[in-house]
Amino acid sequence: MASIQKRGNTYQYTVSRMENGKSKPIRKGGFRTKKEARLAAAEVELKLGKGTLPYLKPAPFD
């Protein structure tokens, strides 16, 4: 489940995911409306469910 926060004049989403038993949040901001942030978060959650998130950077020491 994603959470939406207002930061200044824009919105950001945070999607929680677990990796190796640790919480690794996915955050992105700069959305003009709450609806835009909600739609983008839903896309990320859908891709996360399918296991296809190509733009995630690996942790440097994993």
Average pLDDT value for residue range 29-47: 95
**Token output for 32:** 């003009």
Domain boundaries, the chain: 2-50
- What phi and psi values does residue 32 have, to the nearest 5 degrees? -70, -35
| Structure confidence at residue 59 (pLDDT) | 61
Q: What percent of the chain has pLDDT over 90?
A: 55
Assign 57 a pLDDT band (cuts: 50, 70, 90): low
Which of the four pLDDT bands, split at 50, 70 and 90, describes residue 56? low
Q: Got the DSSP string for 11-48?
A: EEEEE--EETTEE--EEEEEESSHHHHHHHHHHHHHHH
φ/ψ of residue 27, rounded to 5: -125, 145
Distance CA 11, CA 21 (A): 28
* Global pTM value: 0.78
